[in-house]
Amino acid sequence: VSQSRYFPLYQIIHAEVMGELYAAIQKLPEQAKMVVILSYLEGKTNQEIADEMQISLQTVKIYKLRAIKQLRSILTPETYLIFLSVYKIFEKS
């Protein structure tokens, strides 16, 4: 079975997951939202985020932890697991 046969399904699932994730991010407090966007969507390091937002490195970490907890309560369990998978990938790089 050709993998290209599943590509449209992948695109639909990706769009659904990303839509839910973006909607959840918009519900976060402003500072936490900015940290999530800079970190997970733009791929910036904690130090780069701290420098850009003119906050301490520890504050960035606190915002990230709080945002993850809030996203867990907002997202469906499936979408949250996908988010965590992406989070782990970014944390390793």
pLDDT, position 4: 62
Higher local confidence (pLDDT), 81 or 34: 34
Question: What do you get for the CA distance between the two ends of the chain, in Å?
Answer: 33
What single-letter amino acid sits at 15?
Answer: A
Single pTM value for the model: 0.72
92 touches 61 (CB < 8 A):
no
CA separation for the pair 38, 33 (Å, rounded): 9
* φ/ψ of residue 83, rounded to 5: -60, -45
68 touches 14 (CB < 8 A):
no
Q: Over the Cα atoms of the chain, what is R_g?
A: 15
Q: Where do we find the tokens 């998978």?
A: 85
On the 0-12 / 13-18 / 19+ scale of CB atoms within 10 A, 22 is: exposed
Average pLDDT on 63-68 reads 94
pLDDT, position 16: 83
Average pLDDT on 76-90 reads 73
pLDDT, position 79: 81
